[in-house]
Amino acid sequence: GAVVSQHPSRVICKSGTSVKIECRSLDFQATTMFWYRQFPKQSLMLMATSNEGSKATYEQGVEKDKFLINHASLTLSTLTVTSAHPEDSSFYICSARDTFTGTNNYGYTFGSGTRLTVV
């Protein structure tokens, strides 16, 4: 089945630094990648939708200059948290759908998630 590889799984960084999270679709092409954030004991919150070759679409309340998304190829999307602060500490998860074999009736595949801790 479709696999989305996400790295790193855990990262601890100092306040004010930037962190890059990568998501790769290993055996399919992902035209669209979704980035979610999940705080403890809360549900997934969609942050942005990343489309290959174009600018990402951000959800209301998500700062596009703080959460930089790049989707330069059909198999790779990155999320960079710039000038991270402790309130950015969260679980970040990407997901994608196999565009060429899937329809809207196919579930999305999630990456394994990145636990970001900003100290």
Partner 1 sequence: QKEVEQNSGPLSVPEGAIASLNCTYSDRGSQSFFWYRQYSGKSPELIMSIYSNGDKEDGRFTAQLNKASQYVSLLIRDSQPSDSATYLCAVNIYGQNFVFGPGTRLSVLP
34 is a contact residue toward partner 1 (CB under 8 A):
yes
115 is a contact residue toward partner 1 (CB under 8 A):
yes
What the block records as the tokens of 33 is 């990648």
Return the closest-CA partner of residue 31 out of 96, 82, 119, 118. 96
Using CB under 8 A, pick the residue from 46, 62, 68, 76 that binds partner 1: 46
Collect all residues with Cβ–Cβ distance below 8 Å to 60 and sequence separation of at least 6: none
- Rounded distance between C-alpha atoms, residue 108 and residue 89, angstroms: 24
21 is a contact residue toward partner 1 (CB under 8 A):
no
51 is a contact residue toward partner 1 (CB under 8 A):
no
11 is a contact residue toward partner 1 (CB under 8 A):
no
Using CB under 8 A, pick the residue from 19, 56, 79, 93 that binds partner 1: 93
CB 8 within 8 A of CB 21: yes
Using CB under 8 A, pick the residue from 43, 54, 61, 119 that binds partner 1: 43
Using CB under 8 A, pick the residue from 3, 17, 106, 117 that binds partner 1: 106
What the block records as the tokens of 9 is 């799984």
The one-letter code for the residue type at 74 is: L
Binding region for partner 1 (CB under 8 A):
6, 34, 42-44, 46, 49, 91, 93, 104-113, 115
